[in-house]
Amino acid sequence: MKQAPDFLRIEENMRTGPLAAHDFLGSDERSLAAIIYHDRLLLEQLGLTAKDFAQRMRYFSSKAGADAGPQIVDGKFAVERAEYIGRILCPFADNFQAPKAVITVVNKELGKKVVWSDLNVHLIEEHGFFEGEGAPFRIEPSFYAEVLEI
């Protein structure tokens, strides 16, 4: 899959540049464009869009109290937010900065847990980027859709 020059620059920054420390691509050797395209196909199979996905994540993020312990949402989800000092820049150079915060959602009926950062919501909603395979904050669309009941 051919990538636009701006994607090549962004991918290079993610792999070896100043953004490499955040490990957005993980161990994934596919191009940035191929990663995004593959996840878009997965979403289509689920009957979802990146906006649908981000909206559901944002719903849970809004229910989590900062470092207040788990909040019970809709009677079956335990939602918790942990905040850390600092902000993290969007790797797509769109001047977006997210607070360093991690959201944890446990679907108590399924006994399954998912975790994401505030930046993940932005990356999915604005760029269709769920991160590469092996990335610490990779969002697996089918698993997260199941746990979050999207």
Please enumerate in sequence order all residues whose Cβ is within 8 A of that of 42, keeping only pairs 6 or more positions apart, or say none. Answer: 141, 142
Low-confidence ranges of the chain (pLDDT < 50): 1-2
Give pTM, 2 decimals: 0.91
